[in-house]
Amino acid sequence: MFTLLQPDPNSAARLGRLTLAHGVVETPCFMAVGTQGTVKCMTPDEMRALGAQIILSNTYHLNLRPGIEVIRAAGGLHRFMGWDRPILTDSGGYQVFSLAKLRKLTDDGVEFQSHIDGARCFLGPREVMEIQHVLGSDIAMVLDECPHYPCDRETACKAVERSLTWAARCREEAARIGLSGKLFGIAQGSVYDDLRRLCAERLLPMGFDGYAIGGLSVGEPDEELFRVVEATAAVLPRNQPRYAMGLGTPRQIVELVARGVDMFDCALPTRVGRNGTAFTRRGTQSARVAAWKDDPRPVEEGCACYCCRHYSRAYVRHLFNAGEILGLRLLTWHNLHVYLQLMRDVRAAIAAGTFADFRHEFVTNYRVNNPEGKQIDV
Amino acid sequence: MFTLLQPDPNSAARLGRLTLAHGVVETPCFMAVGTQGTVKCMTPDEMRALGAQIILSNTYHLNLRPGIEVIRAAGGLHRFMGWDRPILTDSGGYQVFSLAKLRKLTDDGVEFQSHIDGARCFLGPREVMEIQHVLGSDIAMVLDECPHYPCDRETACKAVERSLTWAARCREEAARIGLSGKLFGIAQGSVYDDLRRLCAERLLPMGFDGYAIGGLSVGEPDEELFRVVEATAAVLPRNQPRYAMGLGTPRQIVELVARGVDMFDCALPTRVGRNGTAFTRRGTQSARVAAWKDDPRPVEEGCACYCCRHYSRAYVRHLFNAGEILGLRLLTWHNLHVYLQLMRDVRAAIAAGTFADFRHEFVTNYRVNNPEGKQIDV
């Protein structure tokens, strides 16, 4: 399912191609987040127009609402939401540990209370495989335990062991039910390089279609993030895809591509857009600044997105000040374009053998500019 | 600017055509409401795809935010919001009386406090003409005084006198500044037929391009609404357009077309859509009903709108339950389609000489179905 097309001679970056049930995905790729069966504010048509080749959706959320039987009745998630290209679904592990009220954690799975209505729920290896099978995910993820940050070594060890137990059971369960999609394992291990490597090495014999690095972006500094990803990627097979879960800022993505990561997903472009902040190739910019009051220029000069081709900064600022939904739509659109265009540029640079220059220039020019002082680390 | 193409032999309905600076509008027409320089949830491209030929925007709101200087700098409202077809703007009169905290009312105009930040503002005939001139409205409206309902005869009389004074001053002011768009007068008179007629008759010598019936839909029963519109329309010139402001439900629109009205505007399709209720040709329907849980059918069977061509009731219900913006977008889209398609059908029926049958069938089949008991009179 993964073809390694071209490794970068000056870094661990790679150009590749995923061949999935619903289409082909060029890597390195970014997956927009469609938590509840919709990329927030966007239609599937608009996502196609943006050039999105794959999106992510969430087992945890969809299982709680609308419930798996509704999606089964619709003939799967693709038909339910009207998206005919690939979908990766996470297993729900991360959401159980971040959103739900935890009840009980055993090798069989995790009992928790729904963050929506407090209902008691259970997710174990069997459940997450069955649910993702019904969803019809092109790529399903194993259940894993995501420790918080900071995390002592003993807690990290235990999470690794539990994640490995669950991974093995997910593998068996997937075989038993004839899982329709591909299945990725997830390496945990917090910020401990040796635990990360150990976890990855013990996942390999289970024979997954790809390998994710999970439990990242939970508060660790960039140096630790980059170091553990590099350490983990080093032991992962060259001919299989690597996915850094829940990441990241444009700068982080470029740095992680350089460390051998092929796949990314992140809520930042959509969430930050709805909050009124634009990503640009040179950093972030609030749409509410007084300087935009009558600025006739597009949000980002030279940008080819729908927002920038049609609307001024003055208009976008007005929409946010007036609380108009079109404002959320336009910055979501722009931000997703920035992310997807970044991945196109990254791929073009690897293909052209100029990724080292691209990386240097991008990282040098990218700055965080958040005039309103919001707590967004972008 | 108005061509009367074909009167209906069995009612006061008329087929017509408005020729405006930014394009041609077939009448009877419905104008979607874009209060703050955007039809809520929609892009101008989507409005064009829906076949909208004209939209309405609000002088009161745009003058407060973003402020008229911002729109002047953008080159007018059309360029600011990216809409190249006709725009009608109201004068702000209705909003001053319904939204703002009123301070002082004189023949010179009205002093009030902004509903946004409490700032003191003044709108008089001169101001509303200047503002609409800067906006570049295809059709501007005179300033009028809108009494509440119920309204005693003396109060209604005073509002008529004040509105006539302001109308005359607006006419003078428009001539003085060379108003770029057409100018409509507004007949007031509450539910008193003779006051309505009197007001209309005194407007006529002022020589407006069209005539609106204002101060409607403020709580009066349908019988009173229909009666005063009929009484007013009877004295308006046959060869000029007639506009019933702020109306209405699909049933009201069909009934008012039969009484000779050519133009309508109403926030219902967009507002009700955002609240999770769909208009259909046979009545309204909440998207949150349990019966839609796994219903694979479109919101309205046989509907050609984007929502109904692509999504199931189950999906639309899920989007509303999950609080997703795409839900607001899809029902807004659908409801605007229902309204605009209704007007196309009305025009086709008048053209075919079958409007009487159309009206009878539509009104007979249309029912209000609001399972959640919300206070929406649709």
Model confidence pLDDT, tens digit, residues B129-144 = 999 999 999 999 999 9
Alpha carbons A349 and A26: distance in angstroms, whole number: 14
A111-155 pLDDT, tens per residue?
999 999 999 999 999 999 999 999 999 999 999 999 999 999 999
Of B73, B81, B324, nearest to A38 by CB-CB distance is: B324
Whether the per-residue pLDDT at A103 is higher than 70: the answer is yes
Alpha carbons A64 and A114: distance in angstroms, whole number: 7
Of A61, A70, A328, nearest to B325 by CB-CB distance is: A328
- Is A117 considered catalytic here? no
Mark which residues 73-92 of A lie under 8 Å from B by CB.
73-74, 80-82
Query: According to CATH, what is the number of the domain B2-266?
Result: 3.20.20.105
- To the nearest whole angstrom, how far is the Cα of A21 from the nearest Cα of chain B? 21
Whether the per-residue pLDDT at A330 is higher than 60: the answer is yes
* pTM of this prediction exceeds 0.90: yes
Give the pLDDT mean for A160-170. Answer: 98
What are residue B101's DSSP bridge partners? B113
Which chain B residue has the Cα nearest residue A320? B66
Q: Where does the pLDDT of residue A32 fall: very low under 50, low under 70, confident under 90, or very high at 90 and above? A: very high
Q: Are B80 and A315 spatial neighbours (Cβ–Cβ below 8 Å)?
A: yes
HSE-CB at A330 with a 13 A cutoff on CA atoms is 35
HSE-CB at A310 with a 13 A cutoff on CA atoms is 17
For A74-105, b/e burial (b = at least 16 CB within 10 A) is: bebbbebbbbebbbbbbbbbbbbbebbeeeeb
Whether the per-residue pLDDT at B9 is higher than 50: the answer is yes
Q: Phi and psi for A245 in degrees, rounded to 5?
A: -80, 135
HSE-CB at A311 with a 13 A cutoff on CA atoms is 27
**How many helices and strands (H and E) does chain A possess?**
15, 16
Does B120 contact A at CB distance below 8 Å?
A: no
What ipTM does this complex have?
A: 0.96
Q: Which residue has the tokens 């490597």?
A: A197
Give the pLDDT mean for B94-102. Answer: 87
pLDDT value at position B97?
87
Does B66 contact A at CB distance below 8 Å?
A: yes
B18-42 pLDDT, tens per residue?
999 999 999 999 999 999 999 999 9
Which chain B residue has the Cα nearest residue A298? B80
pLDDT value at position B103?
81
Q: Are A10 and A355 spatial neighbours (Cβ–Cβ below 8 Å)?
A: yes
- Best CA proximity match to A271, nearest among A339, A346, A347: A339
SS3 (DSSP) at A115: coil
Whether the per-residue pLDDT at B93 is higher than 90: the answer is no
pLDDT value at position A369?
54
Give the pLDDT mean for A243-260. Answer: 97
Give the pLDDT mean for B349-370. Answer: 90
- Best CA proximity match to A263, nearest among A199, A339, A197: A339
Mean pLDDT (chain B) is 95
Count of residues making up chain B:
378
- Cα B188 off chain centre by: 16
Q: Are B74 and A294 spatial neighbours (Cβ–Cβ below 8 Å)?
A: yes
- Is A90 considered catalytic here? yes
- Cα A8 off chain centre by: 23
- Best CA proximity match to B80, nearest among B45, B49, B36: B36
Residue A375 DSSP label: S
Mean pLDDT (chain A) is 95
pLDDT value at position B368?
67
Domain with CATH 3.20.20.105 in chain A: 2-266
Of B61, B318, B328, nearest to A37 by CB-CB distance is: B318
Q: Are A134 and A72 spatial neighbours (Cβ–Cβ below 8 Å)?
A: yes
H/E element holding A335? helix A325-352
